[in-house]
Structure 1
Amino acid sequence: MKKILFVNMCGHGHVNPTIGLINELMNRGEQVTYIAGEEFRNKIEKTGAKFKGYNNSFDIANLVNENLNLENSESLLNFIDIFKKIIEILFNSKEKFDYIIYDSVFMLGNEVGRVLKIPAICSITTFAANERTNCLSSLFNKIEPKIQELLNSSEYINFVKYSQEKYGIKCPSASNVIFGKGMISIVYTSKYFQLCGESFDESYKFIGPSISDRKEDISFPLETNDKKKVIYISLGTIFNNSIEFYENCFKAFDNMDAKIIMSVGKNIDVNTFKSIPSNFIIRNYVPQLEILKHADVFITHGGMNSTNEGLYYDVPLILIPQFIDQPAVANRVAELGAGIVIEKDKVTPEVLKQSVVRILSDNNFKINSKKIGKSLREAGGYKKGVDEILNLINKKSSLFT
């Protein structure tokens, strides 16, 4: 039995794929201590892992909603604050760990491993990136002036000095956020779906999405005698506050002979909608994996988790990418012929309806989504991920003794 330190510092899209991995590690006798934002305490503790939380002052939703207006660098300064909180939690702990698994955004992960003299494993919840495929390059080019301003700020300089003097941590360059990798890197997609998959060496382990039974029930019937098509609509957990988008969906599909399942997120009062078409079922939350087992089309924001989950169940996608890696994910789906991309500022009822009709009438979308889905299912999932982790630890632990 070995003790694992798991570090995560972002939102649901970075935490959810790790849940199956944690469960499997613990099923095989490992002990897990998981550091993340306090909002994830309940989710992590349900796995049986020990949870150590911090108050999360970084809100990516606010950054997005400001349309990357970084004249006020408060959000990025909060990011530094989280780094400081995490290293204080783990270095002030009296626990001794055998290895660390860290989210790729926590760019100090390898350094923590070096200082603690334990193996470091990177968890990558979007596409892996290298010199051939940098799906975040356009974003970083856009905000590079503010990044440089941050790196030159007294707050960051003091943090670098503090980390070095107190803990012996050398802060890596900001590019490690994009290109960072561990002794091995667990990537939650297939090599086939990965951009330029063949350009990655064997240290990258493409395990597919971490699909596990969430033991959730659907509170409404999906299977009917008339076998109507099922269209599922969800914009994830961050970009789901657009009343205008949902109203466009009403107009697009109110006369369509299909059952429409719409998840609008916890921040919208369903009673806000004045007139809901009779073929719509609207909820603040639905069990997404269960819905996808029945869906014929999935309209999504193109987040990596939602995209992987839809394709895992062979569902063609209509993607409306919003931010960060989503345009790259959406374009990859379209490139492989498994979906249609709509730019977020070009969404209209007409475009939505035409896109759904096109997918339902052209069987190639289904054929191509099945091809990706097969690659995702055959990648092995969280069990394969744990196999790779334990194989590394069994081989490498002697290097740190």
Structure 2
Amino acid sequence: MARVLIVNIPAEGHVNPTLGLVKQLIDRGEEVVYVCTEEYRNKVLQTGAEFRSYPFQVDPFSYDPDLKPAPYKHPSQFANMVVRGIIQKIVPEILQVIEGDKYDYFIFDSLMGWGGTIIAQRLGIPAVCSIASFAFVDPLGSEQGLIDDDIENVYESTLELAQQLATQFNVPAPSIQELTKHAGQLKLVYTSRYLQPKADQLDDSFYFAGTSVVPRKDAPNLPLAQLLDPHKQTVYIAMGTILNRDLAFYKLCFDAFQHLPIQFILSSGKDTDMGSLADCIPSNFIVRPYIPQLEVLERADAFVTHAGMNSVSEALYYNVPMVMIPLTSDQPLVSNRVQELGAGITLDHHTLTAEVLRETLMQVLGDSSYRQQAGHIGESLRQAGGYIQAADTIIRQFSKIKQQI
């Protein structure tokens, strides 16, 4: 039996994919200590892991200026977000939470970047990088690579801060590339090689586990059998848990879809005040603050989404084609890949109109090829092995390392 440390960032799309893995590790006799923010305590405790929290601003990706999602025009901006928004703020807190503890290996979220390397080096143990999005063959922002005076300043200030942190933690200073590099002896990616862009450029240290789908015990009960008309198509609309307060977008959906003979289910977000739109909700819409997403996707004919990796992976797992409206971060990369493989259509949120949104949805619903391609990708995700084989791979990997010591 090994003692395992898992550290994650406070985001649903990064915590949810790890839960099945944690349960499997525990079922195989591993002792797991999971460190995240307090809001994820109950979700983690349900796996059987020991939970510890580090202090962090509630909903930081909405309110923290260093973490608030934004389009990256150059890799230095992404590196700056990782160092300033995540490493500087949470690594000292995590080290304090685990001070004096002994572990055999360590699993950390890929958005921690070099921060995961710092913790692994301080503990003197091997590490697994948990990648909840695509593995980045190229850092975010590389596709544009714009350089101006602001980018130069970001580059210099990022390296300066990294040098200060290296001194503080008594570890070697990193290069700009190492700040966001997927580190660790093993990189666990929650997708398939088929869906992963440029998979042929990734070495054997990357293990593709497929979508990690486990029942969510904290999901609200929604009597779908009573609410849904079996004679109508069902379309699910959700914009994730970070960028879901855009009332103008919800009004656009109401205007676009109100006269269609389709049942729409819209997840507005638990912190979104829909009061000003209460009189605008059409009769063919079910609107709730929080929806049991997996249950809805099992029944959905299409999904209107921001193209967050977790949402897209879960939709494809259930063979659901998509209308994708990427907003920031890795979402354009995700949506472009799904469109490239024929399982959905990407729209530009800057020029989006009700007419375009309606016509695009009807195209996805009316052309069976989108459903077929979503099913092809879904099969690759289901056949990848999931968290069961991922747990086997991790235990086997670190059993070998332990025997060599």
Give 1:44 deviation, angstroms. Answer: 1.7
Cα distance in structure 2, aligned partners of 1:252 and 1:135: 33
Counterpart contact for 1:300–1:320, Cα < 8 Å? yes
Give 1:148 deviation, angstroms. Answer: 2.1
Query: Are 2:373 and 1:373 aligned?
Result: no
For 2:300, which of 292, 295, 320 is the aligned residue? 295
For 2:349, which of 324, 344, 348 is the aligned residue? 344
Q: In structure 2, do the counterparts of structure 1 residues 226 and 83 end up closer, same or farther at CA, with 3 Å as the change threshold?
A: closer
Q: Residue in 2 aligned with 1:179?
A: 181
For 2:135, which of 128, 135, 139 is the aligned residue? 128
For 1:361, which of 363, 366, 369 is the aligned residue? 366
Tell me the C-alpha RMSD between the 2 structures. Answer: 2.5
Q: Deviations over 1:34-68 (max 9, x none)?
A: 12223322222232212221111482323476857
Query: Are 2:199 and 1:197 aligned?
Result: yes
Counterpart contact for 2:193–2:199, Cα < 8 Å? yes
Q: Residue in 2 aligned with 1:118?
A: 125
For 2:394, which of 370, 377, 389 is the aligned residue? 389
Give 1:160 deviation, angstroms. Answer: 2.1
Equivalent residues in 2 for 1:25-44 (5 A)?
25-44=25-44
Q: Residue in 2 aligned with 1:160?
A: 166
Counterpart contact for 2:238–2:266, Cα < 8 Å? yes
> SS in structure 2 opposite 1:221?
helix
Give 1:13 deviation, angstroms. Answer: 1.6
Q: In structure 2, do the counterparts of structure 1 residues 222 and 343 end up closer, same or farther at CA, with 3 Å as the change threshold?
A: farther
Counterpart contact for 2:211–2:314, Cα < 8 Å? yes
Give TM-score, length-normalised by structure 2: 0.89
Q: In structure 2, do the counterparts of structure 1 residues 32 and 75 end up closer, same or farther at CA, with 3 Å as the change threshold?
A: closer
Q: More displaced, 369-378 or 3-12?
A: 3-12
Give 1:102 deviation, angstroms. Answer: 1.1
Matching residue's letter, 2:157: L
Counterpart contact for 2:320–2:371, Cα < 8 Å? yes
Counterpart contact for 1:76–1:150, Cα < 8 Å? no
Q: More displaced, 179-188 or 300-309?
A: 179-188
Give 1:221 deviation, angstroms. Answer: 3.3
Counterpart contact for 1:124–1:188, Cα < 8 Å? yes
Q: In structure 2, do the counterparts of structure 1 residues 283 and 189 end up closer, same or farther at CA, with 3 Å as the change threshold?
A: same
Cα distance in structure 1, aligned partners of 2:397 and 2:231: 48
Give 1:386 deviation, angstroms. Answer: 0.3
Q: More displaced, 29-38 or 107-116?
A: 107-116
Q: Deviations over 1:184-206 (max 9, x none)?
A: 11000000000012222221110
Give 1:180 deviation, angstroms. Answer: 1.9
Give 1:254 deviation, angstroms. Answer: 0.5
Q: Residue in 1 aligned with 2:270?
A: 266
Query: Are 2:101 and 1:100 aligned?
Result: no
Q: More displaced, 113-122 or 241-250?
A: 113-122
Cα distance in structure 1, aligned partners of 2:27 and 2:203: 29
Q: In structure 2, do the counterparts of structure 1 residues 227 and 311 end up closer, same or farther at CA, with 3 Å as the change threshold?
A: same
Q: In structure 2, do the counterparts of structure 1 residues 158 and 117 end up closer, same or farther at CA, with 3 Å as the change threshold?
A: closer
Q: In structure 2, do the counterparts of structure 1 residues 342 and 39 end up closer, same or farther at CA, with 3 Å as the change threshold?
A: same
Cα distance in structure 2, aligned partners of 1:196 and 1:78: 28
Counterpart contact for 2:9–2:36, Cα < 8 Å? yes
Cα distance in structure 2, aligned partners of 1:52 and 1:353: 46
Q: Residue in 1 aligned with 2:239?
A: 235
Give 1:224 deviation, angstroms. Answer: 5.2
Cα distance in structure 1, aligned partners of 2:367 and 2:235: 16
Give 1:377 deviation, angstroms. Answer: 0.4
Cα distance in structure 2, aligned partners of 1:327 and 1:262: 22
Give TM-score, length-normalised by structure 1: 0.89
Cα distance in structure 1, aligned partners of 2:115 and 2:251: 44
Counterpart contact for 1:111–1:170, Cα < 8 Å? no
Matching residue's letter, 1:9: I
Give 1:233 deviation, angstroms. Answer: 0.1
How many residues are matched? 389
Residue ranges of structure 2 left out of the alignment (5+ in a row): none
Q: Residue in 1 aligned with 2:60?
A: 59
Give 1:103 deviation, angstroms. Answer: 1.0
Counterpart contact for 2:247–2:274, Cα < 8 Å? no
Query: Are 2:102 and 1:87 aligned?
Result: no
Cα distance in structure 1, aligned partners of 2:81 and 2:6: 27
Counterpart contact for 1:104–1:177, Cα < 8 Å? no
Cα distance in structure 1, aligned partners of 2:68 and 2:303: 24
For 2:315, which of 310, 316, 320 is the aligned residue? 310
Q: Deviations over 1:263-317 (max 9, x none)?
A: 0101222333122110100000000000000000100000000000000000001
Q: More displaced, 215-224 or 120-129?
A: 215-224
Matching residue's letter, 1:348: T
Counterpart contact for 2:71–2:328, Cα < 8 Å? no
Counterpart contact for 1:259–1:279, Cα < 8 Å? yes
Residue ranges of structure 1 left out of the alignment (5+ in a row): none
Q: More displaced, 345-354 or 46-55?
A: 46-55
> SS in structure 2 opposite 1:185?
strand
Q: Residue in 2 aligned with 1:253?
A: 257
